[in-house]
Amino acid sequence: MAVIGNEDEKEWIVRLQQGESHAFELLYQRYSRPILYKLLRLVHSEQLAEELHQEVFLKVWERRLQLDPEKSFGGFLIRIAHNLAMDFYRKAASDEKLREQLLRAAAVFYDPQDEAKTDPRHEQLMSAIAKLPPQRQKVFTLCKLEGQSYQHIARLLGVSVGTIKDHMAKASRFLKQELTKTDLRLLLILIMFL
């Protein structure tokens, strides 16, 4: 089987636009593994990553006429993969059964009652939370790790619900920035939707 180099990629994209399945196969061979690894880092589930991987390349075929041979094909694939993963998380946030399934799968990383917190990702998450200002850290912990409602936390701390919402919004922004440096995006997304 032929392997394509960067110089040939534009030609293969043009052929793909013309519906040539061989061009699709060559582009698939070149980008399949990196896209699968990217999806694994985004969703932390081999089965889900494989399903989304198939969807990425299905979308490439469906959108082949929209491809621009002058633009990065790899970047196009990464954008599709990222969007599919985020769509999955949005769906999980609104689908109770799916959310419960994800939470069970990720429970080992964020269950504060678990004594076996030796996973470095859990330590990174706790370290990021510890960097929050004291009041914000307390609000985040009460809400997301202990499951308390905004109303309960507001009464407990003697502040308004609006203040609690403000603390949570700022904590979320900070933690997203802090954790984008690591592979904790799944964990943070799950915690934020609890």
pLDDT tens-digit series, residues 161-183: 999 999 988 988 887 777 765 54
Q: At 168, which helix (H) or strand (E)?
A: helix 161-179
Question: pLDDT value at position 95?
Answer: 67
User: Where does residue 166 rank: exposed (0-12), middle (13-18), buried (19+ CB within 10 A)?
Assistant: middle
CA-CA distance, 80 to 96, in Å (whole number)? 25
CA-CA distance, 26 to 102, in Å (whole number)? 34
pTM of the model: 0.51
Is the per-residue pLDDT at 107 higher than 80?
no
User: Where does residue 129 rank: exposed (0-12), middle (13-18), buried (19+ CB within 10 A)?
Assistant: buried
Is the per-residue pLDDT at 70 higher than 90?
no
Q: Name which residue leads in pLDDT, 51 or 110.
A: 51
Is the per-residue pLDDT at 114 higher than 50?
no
Domains of the chain as residue ranges with CATH:
6-94 (1.10.1740.10), 106-193 (1.10.10.10)
pLDDT band at 160 (very low <50, low <70, confident <90, very high): very high
